[in-house]
Amino acid sequence: MDFETNYDKLLASLTSLILNEISFENQKLKAELKKEIEFILNNLKAKLKKWTVLLSTKKIDLDEFKWLINSQKDLVFIHSLYQVGLTKNKIGRIKRDIMHRIFYDLSKFKY
């Protein structure tokens, strides 16, 4: 079996394993999380494939291989911070638009 097939199998089983571990009442949230997990694992796929080749050709050793895998974990964490920040900015902007609208209406209102 080649790397692609193996990895796709691993991806599917990891996704279902994670989703089964956490119980969700909200199906929409579950679907969103599934998308997020698949994004993370797909992103890792190309790198993992490259690092596996480097390991098998002895261009990097096992310790370096593990180091790189852990660096991906840290990168995913930075990415999640980035996403949280973007959402926070977006909601903040919507609220400010609402506030602006209210100030505008207040100034035009005939008391």
Partner 1 sequence: MKNQILKIIFLTITLLIVNSCSLLKTALYDQYTYENVTSLKVESLHLMSSANSPFSDFKNEVDKLKIDLEKLSEYEKNKSNNEITYEMINLIKNADKNLLGGFLKRWEDKNKLSESFIEESKYQVQEAFDLLIKYELNKDKDSISNYIKQN
Distance between CA 60 and CA 71 in Å, rounded?
15
User: What is the closest distance, in whole angstroms, from the C-beta atom of residue 7 to partner 1 in the complex?
Assistant: 18
User: What is the closest distance, in whole angstroms, from the C-beta atom of residue 67 to partner 1 in the complex?
Assistant: 6
* Residues near partner 1, by CB under 8 A: 47, 50-51, 54, 59-61, 64, 67-68, 70-75, 77-79, 81-82, 84-86, 88-89, 91-93, 95-96, 98-100, 102-106, 109-111
Q: By C-beta, is 11 or 65 nearer to partner 1? A: 65
User: What is the closest distance, in whole angstroms, from the C-beta atom of residue 81 to partner 1 in the complex?
Assistant: 5
Which stretches of the chain are assigned E, i.e. beta strand? none
Q: Cα dihedral sign for 30, 28, 38, 40?
A: negative
Q: Which of 18, 8, 16, 17 is nearest to 48 (CA)?
A: 8
